[in-house]
Amino acid sequence: MQHRRPTETTAIFVFLFCLLVGLAKGALAREPAGPVLVIEVEGAIGVAAVEQLEKALAEARARDAAALVLRLDTPGGLVVSTRAMIKAILGAPVPVILWVAPSGARAASAGTYLAYAAHLAAMAPGTHIGAATPIALGAPPTAPREPGGEKDRPAPTDAAERKALNDAIAYLRSLARLRGRNAEWAEAAVREAATLTAEEAVEKGVVELLAGSLPELLEKAHGRPVRLAEGERTLLLRDRPVETLDPGLRLKVLQAIADPNIAFVLLLVGIYGILFEFWNPGTFLPGIVGGIALFLALAALSVLPVQMAGVALLLLGIALMVAEAFTPGIGILGLGGLAAFIAGAFFLFDPGAADFDLRVALPVLIAAAGVSALLLMGVLGAAMGARRRRVAAGAEALLGAEGRVVAWDGREGRVRVQGELWDARADRSLAPGQLVRVKQRRGLVLDVEPIEEKPS
C-alpha cells in the first residue's frame, strides 16, 4: 500500500486553500448588475438626511447597485442623526463614496465624521473639511491651555467637557483606523478644530481622491478595493449608468422646516394666525394659514432636540396672549406673553445635542419680538379705539340719537330718526316738527324727550 509523502499532502492543501480564496475573491469582485446611485445631502444633518440615506441604501441593495455616491455639503448636524448615518454606512450592503462637492461646499463637524466613515472619500477643488469640535465645548482658540505638551492643546475646563471631547476624539480615531485614514489629523480636527482644503486633505491621507466632477470621481474610483461589512470588494464603476435619487417632497419639506429659525417662524405664524381668527371670527383665512403653519412647526419640533423649559415658556406665552385676545385690557397679559414667548424661543433647543449652533438666530428673535410688539400694540389700539367709539349699529345705536316729530296725539305719535319712521312715546304732548332725542327703545317703540332748539 502506497502512502503520500508529507510534501505532496501539504501541496494539495495549499492548492485547495488558494482555490477557495480565489473563488471567494471572485465572488466578492463580481461585477454588480445595477447602476451607480447618487444622493445629495445639503444643510444640517438631521432626521431627514438619515431617512434619505437609509432609503437610498435599501434601494441600492434591491437594485444591486455598483456604489452609492453621497454628495455632501454640510455645516454639521445633530449628534444622534450623525451617528445613525455612520451606523448605516458601516453596515451598508454596497460601497458608499462620500464626495464633498460642488466647489465651495464643506464637510464641517458632522461631515468630517461621515467622510471618515465612508468606504471611499473624495473632495472637489475649492472645498474644505474639519472643525469637528463639539459645539458645546466652545471655540478652542479661547479655551485655557495646558502648559507644555506636544501641541499646547486646549484643556477642557471640567469633567463633562473632557468626557465629551475624549469621546468625540475616540470615535473619529476609530473610524480613521477602520478606513486607514489619518488618525492624528482626526484628533486635531476635534481637539483644535483643524481644517483642510481638498488638496491638503488628499495629501495628508484624510480623503483618497480629488475630483471636480462626477464622471471624474467614478473614473478615479474604478478598480479601487474597499472593505464592506461582508468583506473586500473592488469598485467597478467605469461606463456604469448613473442615477440621482430624488428624496421626495416629504423629505424635502422636512429638511427645510427642521431648521431652528424656520421652525420658530412657522410657530410664530401659526400662533398669530389663530389669534387673529379669535379676534375676527369668521374670516377663516388667518385661521387656516395659522393652523397649517402650526402643524408644520410641530412636525419640525418633533425631530429637533427641544428643552422642556423652553417649551413651558412658549406655552405660557401662548396662553397669556390668548388671554389678552379674549380679555383685551391695557396689554399687561399680552406683553407678558410676548416676553415669555421670546424667552422660550431662546431656550427652546438643546445646543449640546448638535455640533453646530442649534439656536434661533438673534436677528430672527429681534425681528419676531418687534413684529409681535407692533401687532400687539396695533390690536390693542384698535380695541381701545373701538371702546371709545359710539355704537354704530343695533339697538344701542339709537340711544341718544336725535329726530323730529312727524305726527303726535297726546303722549304718542310718530318720529323720524336716522331717516326712518318710528312709533314713539313721551311723558308730555309734542308738536309736529319738534326736535326730540331718543331715551330708550322698547321693541319697535322709542321713548323720546323734547330738545330745546337754540334760536338761529
Question: Residue 181 and residue 208: Cα distance in Å, rounded?
Answer: 9
Please state, in angstroms and as integers, the Cα–Cα distance from residue 393 to each residue in 333, 387, 444, following that order.
30, 14, 15
Question: Of the candidates 164, 168, 172, which has an alpha carbon nearest to the alpha carbon of residue 136?
Answer: 164
Question: Residue 259 and residue 124: Cα distance in Å, rounded?
Answer: 26
Buried b (16+ CB within 10 A) or exposed e, 250-279: ebeebbebbbbebbbbbbbbbbbbbbbbeb
Name the 3-class secondary structure at 369.
helix
163 catalytic per annotation: yes
Question: Residue 387 and residue 381: Cα distance in Å, rounded?
Answer: 10
CA torsion sign for 90, 86, 101, 205 is: negative
Number of neighbouring beta carbons within 10 Å of residue 51: 19
109 catalytic per annotation: yes
Length of the chain: 456
For residue 128 the three cell numbers come to: 474644505
| Beta-sheet pairing, 225-228 with 445-450 | unpaired
Which residue among the candidates 87, 103, 151, 163 is catalytic per the annotation?
Answer: 163
Please state, in angstroms and as integers, the Cα–Cα distance from residue 322 to each residue in 278, 279, 280, 327, 328, following that order.
8, 10, 13, 9, 10
Task: List Cβ neighbours of 82 (8 Å cut-off, separation of 6 or more).
Answer: 45, 110, 113, 114, 355
Catalytic residue annotation: 109, 163
